[in-house]
Amino acid sequence: MTAEPRISRFSPEYDQPVRGDPITAERYVSAEWMELENRNLWPRVWHLGGVLADLQEEGDVIRHNFGRESVIMVRQADGAIRAFYNTCPHRGNRLILGDVSSAPRISCSYHGWQFDPDGTLVHVQDADDFAGGNPCGKVTLSELRCETWGPFVFWCMDADVAPLREWLAPFPERLAAYGLENWVRVLNLSCDCDFNWKIIRDNFNESYHLPTIHPELSTFINDGLPTTLFEMYPSGHNAMWMIGHQATTRKDYVSGDVPPGLYEAAEAWGIDPKAYRGRTDAIREAVIAAKRAHGAGRGYTSYAAMSDQQLVDYYHCTLFPNLTLTMSPEQCQILRTEPHPTDPEKCVFQHWCLYPPVAGMTEVDTPVGKARLAHDAIARHSRYGDGESLGFVADQDLSIGTTQQQGLNSRGFRGCILSGQEKRIQRFHELLDDMVHGRRA
């Protein structure tokens, strides 16, 4: 049994029909499903490869390992960025072995072939020993599509996929007021996980787990169902608006004292929380007014362009198939899972946080503590479960991954039973079904 195609709480403008395809365990555990994704899904979507801050000068390179594939993005002499498969045309050795690098030429560590940043072979050993003569100038690296949006660089393996901005719709327009272009990636965390990549995608496509997995958020994010707005766009991407600077309506947090979390959020904008005893739900409006009055003076230059909703609420954007952006005016969280090269029951989880550059601000609060407001001030890779935090909310989400994977392997699991509010999960899987079975481009 799966979700009914009903529209309550789904923005009528951005609701989409679902068919009710069964969501069984196979897609989370089987090598055949993984192979179908490798063949029909991953080549046909845009992938976030990195941030422009790592590509400032000619010859700067970002490497993005993705499943069995590896892609490099390279800054060119004319300022453009081009992407290439990270494989040597000679006999296939992987060329770039670090996450970021910079050199006038890309060199292969095996027989020393060298390539200009534009991918052209410019040096080989024993150049006259090749049938047809010196291969320099004739052989090139295999190129992929590469486009940028905001501070981000994306790559795509398929020539027929829509241009990046069109593919990202409606987010370039919806997120324009935040002014992401010059935001700084301060946090760059990743970890290896023992579950299929879709487990966390499902988690991000619903807010049903908030009261149980993230109870701490309930005093300053309203996870009540009546006020949470779900949107599903024609492009295949989904989103959710959650009311911020307000406690959940699942309990009475209004008639007493301002609860912790909301208390500090009010104080941060010069609002006396004690004055809101018995009417704590009015704090959100007060924060909007305070941000309008004092935001620019504190260096938040983008506030002026934002709607009230953008100023205080959370816009949680789940892009098909595997990228999430959670927006507030002061933080952009990038959360995503990527497949393991060979094992359908493992994935890589990434958590980046970007912050707007604010005059005079040298430090920011990240999900793992204070950090310098500087590019990749905190960057690390770990294994989930080894004690390195991915941020406390992310840790909570990841905590269910392994046990859910285990439960999905039971022959007693008969397929998901989704509530109405989990319709975005249903839609995600139906788009996925269509793509992996070649029914949708």
Residues of the shown chain interacting with ligand FES in the complex, contacts defined by CB under 6 A: 88, 90-91, 93, 108, 110-111, 113
Nearer to Fe ion among residue 376 and residue 397 (C-beta): 397
Nearer to ligand FES among residue 114 and residue 301 (C-beta): 114
From the list Fe ion, ligand FES, none, partner contacted by residue 202 (C-beta under 5 to 8 A by kind): none
Residues of the shown chain interacting with Fe ion in the complex, contacts defined by CB under 5 A: 397
Q: Give CA separation, 422 vs 20, 151, 206, 230, in Å.
A: 12, 31, 5, 10
From the list Fe ion, ligand FES, none, partner contacted by residue 380 (C-beta under 5 to 8 A by kind): none
Nearer to ligand FES among residue 110 and residue 130 (C-beta): 110
State the burial class of residue 138 (Cβ atoms within 10 Å of its Cβ: 0-12, 13-18, 19+).
exposed
Cis peptide before 170 (omega within 30 of 0): yes
From the list Fe ion, ligand FES, none, partner contacted by residue 110 (C-beta under 5 to 8 A by kind): ligand FES
Place of tokens 């959710």: 240
Q: How far is the CB of 157 from ligand FES (least distance, A)?
A: 21
Nearer to ligand FES among residue 17 and residue 104 (C-beta): 104
Q: How far is the CB of 401 from Fe ion (least distance, A)?
A: 11
Tokens of 93: 């050795």
Q: How far is the CB of 108 from ligand FES (least distance, A)?
A: 3
Q: How far is the CB of 66 from ligand FES (least distance, A)?
A: 21
Q: How far is the CB of 216 from Fe ion (least distance, A)?
A: 11
Nearer to ligand FES among residue 88 and residue 175 (C-beta): 88
Nearer to ligand FES among residue 114 and residue 309 (C-beta): 114
Q: How far is the CB of 89 from ligand FES (least distance, A)?
A: 8
From the list ligand FES, Fe ion, none, partner contacted by residue 397 (C-beta under 5 to 8 A by kind): Fe ion
Nearer to Fe ion among residue 36 and residue 418 (C-beta): 418
From the list Fe ion, ligand FES, none, partner contacted by residue 274 (C-beta under 5 to 8 A by kind): none
Q: How far is the CB of 91 from ligand FES (least distance, A)?
A: 4
